[in-house]
Amino acid sequence: MIINREACTGCGRCVPYCPMEAILWHKKKDKKRGEKPYSEIDREKCVECFVCFRAKVCPTDAIQEEKLEWPRILRRAFSDPLYVHGGTDVPGRGTEEMKTNDVTGRYLDGYIGVGMEFGRPGTGTYLREAEKAIKRLVKMGVSLEPLNPLTQLIENKETGELRREVLGEKVLSAIVEFTVPIEKAQNVFRAVKEIAREIDTVFSLDLICKVAPDGDIPILKEVEKAGLIRSINGKVNVGLGRPLYKL
């Protein structure tokens, strides 16, 4: 995104709409330089989420869309929830959500789905931070979700290294996704704890599994065994999706 300096009146209405605090407001008139108040976008902080543009708060339409080239276009792909990623054909940072499991059948009995979400609004993450997790997981022999947009940026499948030119791109958040047998959960949790000490951003750990016929949630015992504290904000799919997945 860019702000047309000539059209900007320096009202500052756009400033609170940026989740990354990337809009700088120069609200005082510089008499010596003859400059009027204005706002500008810090291109390093901007993740191209398009929030300021879609909010339509600028009275002079000074906030303008620019043509994004590679690799900067990745900022929008991972930050704008309405942007359809070219490699997944769905909007957003990951693949189809876990609540569609009754349709997709991605998580079967005896397996857990794992999502590691790097970054948050107000914090963001560079893709190089997600690469640290990918490299560790690939070394463990974990098979990453092939339709995930991060997986598609891997240049070396043996080491998990991403394409060099994308590492410096900052995004709102990025998700590493994979599936493992539940008996390997503790190995994954140990790796996650090590990754947490190495990265320079925040991340959340998402765990997905099927509920047993007796109502038991198999992954909860593994979570307690690992000494992890689970959030109460869990999701339970009651199986209303159509068409139903069939083995």
pLDDT digits (tens, 9 = 90+) for 24-44: 999 877 666 667 899 999 999
- Determine the pLDDT at residue 172: 95
Q: How far is CA 186 from CA 112, 132, 216, 221, in A?
A: 12, 19, 19, 11
Q: Which CATH class is domain 84-225?
A: alpha beta
Residue 160 has pLDDT above 90, yes or no: yes
The proportion of the chain whose per-residue pLDDT surpasses 90, expressed as a percent, equals: 70
Percent of the chain with pLDDT over 70: 96
8-state DSSP, 37: P
Global pTM value? 0.89
Which ranges in the chain are annotated with CATH 3.30.70.20? 1-66
Indicate the helix (H) or strand (E) that contains 218: none
- 18 to each of 6, 12, 25, 53, 57, how far by Cα in Å? 21, 11, 12, 10, 12
Q: Which of these ranges, 66-70, 96-100, 131-135, 227-231, has the smallest mean pLDDT?
A: 96-100
CATH class of 1-66: alpha beta
Where does CATH 3.90.1170 sit in the chain? 84-225
Tell me what pLDDT residue 31 has: 64
Q: How confident is the model at residue 235 (pLDDT cuts 50, 70, 90)?
A: confident
Considering only 58-67, 149-158, 224-233, which range has the smallest mean pLDDT? 224-233
| Per-residue model confidence (pLDDT) at position 52 | 96
